[in-house]
Structure 1
Amino acid sequence: MNLPVDILVEILSRVPAKSLHRFRCVSKWFNCLICDHQFQNKHLGHAKSCTRDLESKRLITRVDGLALSFSLSSTYNNAFTWRPNYVSDNKRKSSTFMLVNCPSVNGLLCVKLGTFDKLAVHLWNPTTNELRRLPNSSLFLGEETYDPCDEPIYGLGHDSANDDYVVVRMIMRSPNSMVIKFEVYSLKNDSWRLIQLQPFSYASFRQDEYFNCQSLNSRFHWMVLDDNRDDISYVIVSLNLSNDEYKEIPQPNYQKFSIVDVDYTDVVVLDGQLCVYIHYFGRSFDLWTMKDYGVQQSWMMMLSIPQHDILASLNLDTSWLGHVQFLPFYLFENGDFLLKVHTGERKDIMVYKKDKKVLEASILGHETIGRSYVYTETLISPNQYLTPAPLRIVKNLNRVSRDRLIQYVS
């Protein structure tokens, strides 16, 4: 059986990324195809459109110093199989691994690797275990940056206009947490550049355990404090990855509140939409979503969970009012939410059943340490602009490679 090359490529673009990565050793044709940037984007499009395929969407977290992940499909049958994600700098085993405070984009994650006193930021694809060490910044931060409150905030995004992956680095100084420097890293150029946002007089709303910088529509989004008005208020700021312009995003018409009434609030991207969650002290946890990006009237409340219902689901008494925190980071197709729940010193990953209005018991069986993110298994390489695979090699498919290919996909 001889299938046209276009059909074979179409078939392979629907094969799970983990399997395709293993198939690179089948032939040179296979290897060239899987490493090709256009094919990786084609495969990414299919992977992102398969909303029902929870097996290819994985939760990654750090337990006992190790990076572990499991598929989201296991959240309903409790058959958890932890998959260790091994990270190497190609020279020696890294002694320290940390997830940087920004969510995954197209299967890529920002991580810090190295020795405890010297960590370097890398782009990492946990599916293929490919790493790209980001070059050192030209900015000297000074010894005072060892203060945890002054550690830079990072964001990872995709600039669709230039088909480039971008990392933003926001550097602040205490005591007012004012952002004084913005750096942007381009994967295509493999370099950092300093950008000027004028005038930018906001104070950063620091929540390192939460998701500070969210990427959507080729823009970064994060929550800041505007103390230049009569009353201090929260503001959503967006930064355009293509032209470095920033603007405020209109917020929901939620009940006006004082800053002292809010335990915490932040932005998050769920199901491709910008969301705001607010935890009112001792009252409720509210989640809003912007159905039409940039349109203030399109904000709608997705859910509001009374604080007492939260405590009841966790079997906690009223003494815990104000001491339980929710961090939503994935929306299932049926409306359920995956959340990180903080109760005192304990951090668990749990599922909120929207129909039953209850929290399921911890789905991990482990206490998580540090940050947790959901990523989609993709072939996107952090080294794609170093050694691009020419598509013409893929098109020159010989008979031997075609027969071997048919054998593996049939």
Structure 2
Amino acid sequence: MYGFVYDEVHGDYKVVAGFNNESYSYSFLVKVKMYSLNSDSLTSLEDFKSEVLGTESGVFVNGKLHWANSVYRRSGWDIISVDLADRTCGEVEQPYYGEGDFGWTLGVLGTDLAVFCKYQRIQDDVWVLKEYGVKESWIKMFTIDIPCDPRMGHKFCQFFCMSNKGEVLFHFG
């Protein structure tokens, strides 16, 4: 996992990256480091438990980089974050998405953190966190029926973005 952002609080460009800790045989401990361009320094952030270290770029919302990641203590996926101002790692509470087999990805709608739940590769539910840090403020904005052949797999057809007019753009390939 990684991210490159501009920290407005400190007027600094920063790179954040997570690495499996090689001293643990099962890689349950992940090291997170942040590079600051202003100070030309690499800082280690607090450790957090993780089974699966994703390779995705972080989603920047509310001064924090966010990733979807698996935590070994619980089943399923969590949203983890790195606060650029105070250099701490955290977790964002999620809503109940419902039953069924689905995959999900993080995104941004407007200035809000969003989760795109893909059910059986034929529809996406779009959840948005309207008030950051308040679990009850997650709302399901809408459901999108995906105009794709489900035999092609979800990697071939993904929600890409939405315009201010509510038009949806998909990425094929």
TM range (shorter): 0.7 to 0.9
Partner AA of 2:166 in structure 1:
G
Q: CA, structure 1 residues 246+300, in 2 after alignment: closer, same or farther (shift >3 Å)?
A: same
Alignment of 1:164 with 2:12, yes or no, is yes
Q: Aligned partners of 1:289, 1:333: CA distance in 2, in Å?
A: 15
Instruction: Report the equivalent of 1:255.
Output: 98
Q: CA, structure 1 residues 278+186, in 2 after alignment: closer, same or farther (shift >3 Å)?
A: same
Cα shift readout 1:260-286 (whole Å, capped 9, x = no counterpart): x22x31211221110011112255322
Instruction: Report the equivalent of 2:162.
Output: 331
Cα shift readout 1:223-251 (whole Å, capped 9, x = no counterpart): 1112313xx12111111111122221111
1:185 Cα deviation from its structure 2 partner: 0.9
The answer to whether the 8 A contact 1:285-1:304 is kept is: yes
Partner AA of 1:242 in structure 2:
A
Pairs within 5 Å for 1:160-199:
160-172=8-20, 178=28, 180-197=30-47
SS in 2 for 1:334: coil
- If you compute each CA radius of gyration, which structure gives the higher value, 1 or 2? 1
Partner AA of 2:5 in structure 1:
G
**Stretches of structure 2 lacking an aligned partner (at least 5 in a row):** none
Instruction: Report the equivalent of 1:293.
Output: 132
1:205 Cα deviation from its structure 2 partner: 5.2
May I ask how many residue pairs the two structures share in their alignment? 170
Instruction: Report the equivalent of 1:238.
Output: 81
Partner AA of 1:233 in structure 2:
G
The answer to whether the 8 A contact 2:46-2:89 is kept is: no
Cα shift readout 1:142-161 (whole Å, capped 9, x = no counterpart): xxxxxxxxxxx221123222
The answer to whether the 8 A contact 2:45-2:89 is kept is: no
RMSD: 2.5
1:169 Cα deviation from its structure 2 partner: 1.3
The answer to whether the 8 A contact 1:157-1:219 is kept is: no
Cα shift readout 1:188-233 (whole Å, capped 9, x = no counterpart): 1123222232xx1122353x4xx4411112111111112313xx12
SS in 1 for 2:113: strand
SS in 1 for 2:49: coil
The answer to whether the 8 A contact 1:157-1:218 is kept is: no
Instruction: Report the equivalent of 2:114.
Output: 275
In terms of fraction of residues, the more helix-rich structure is: 1
The answer to whether the 8 A contact 2:79-2:91 is kept is: yes
Q: Aligned partners of 1:164, 1:158: CA distance in 2, in Å?
A: 6
The answer to whether the 8 A contact 2:68-2:80 is kept is: yes
Instruction: Report the equivalent of 1:224.
Output: 69
Cα shift readout 1:82-140 (whole Å, capped 9, x = no counterpart): xxxxxxxxxxxxxxxxxxxxxxxxxxxxxxxxxxxxxxxxxxxxxxxxxxxxxxxxxxx
The answer to whether the 8 A contact 1:205-1:223 is kept is: no
Q: Aligned partners of 2:131, 2:4: CA distance in 1, in Å?
A: 23
In terms of fraction of residues, the more strand-rich structure is: 2
Q: Aligned partners of 2:27, 2:171: CA distance in 1, in Å?
A: 25
Cα shift readout 1:48-99 (whole Å, capped 9, x = no counterpart): xxxxxxxxxxxxxxxxxxxxxxxxxxxxxxxxxxxxxxxxxxxxxxxxxxxx
1:302 Cα deviation from its structure 2 partner: 2.4
Instruction: Report the equivalent of 1:72.
Output: none
**Stretches of structure 1 lacking an aligned partner (at least 5 in a row):** 1-152, 342-346, 348-410
Alignment of 1:302 with 2:141, yes or no, is yes
TM-score (norm 1): 0.38
Cα shift readout 1:148-177 (whole Å, capped 9, x = no counterpart): xxxxx2211232221212110111269966
SS in 2 for 1:305: strand
Q: Aligned partners of 2:62, 2:126: CA distance in 1, in Å?
A: 20
